Amino acid sequence: MKAVVSVIGKDNFGILAKVAAVCSENRANIIDVTQSVLQDMFVMIMLVDISADGCDFSKLCGALDTLHEGFLQTAVSLQNDPLVAQALFDAEAEDSAVYSQLFDATE
């Protein structure tokens, strides 16, 4: 099963590293990450696989909530809506197919 982690808030050092550490500690495998800084605002969307043994969705939510309390003015949320996760997964697969075709054409 896949889930989406989103982070929005004031840019600060180590946000990506801290979220990645929480995912790792809770056995959520990071599949894809996109991030941007807009002026002083940090925005990140992370697609994670939560199907590994030992990965408990509710514990991961709790750990991310605790992380949220540590970031001033930063919202951290986790969704496991299958439609959202599948749409992101499908978009990633489509991009991979396009990159593969481009790579094949240059050989």
Residue 107 clears pLDDT 60, i.e. is over it: no
In this predicted model, which residue has the larger pLDDT, 75 or 67?
67
> How far apart, in whole angstroms, are the C-alpha atoms of residue 8 and residue 64?
13
Quick one: pLDDT at residue 67?
78
62 pLDDT band (50/70/90 cuts)? confident
> How far apart, in whole angstroms, are the C-alpha atoms of residue 104 and residue 15?
37
Residue 19 clears pLDDT 80, i.e. is over it: yes
- Kindly report the average pLDDT of the chain as a whole number: 75
C-alpha separations of 40 from 13, 34, 37, 51, 74 in Å: 12, 17, 6, 34, 12
- Which helix (H) or strand (E) segment is 7 a member of? strand 2-10
Compute the average pLDDT of residues 25-40.
91
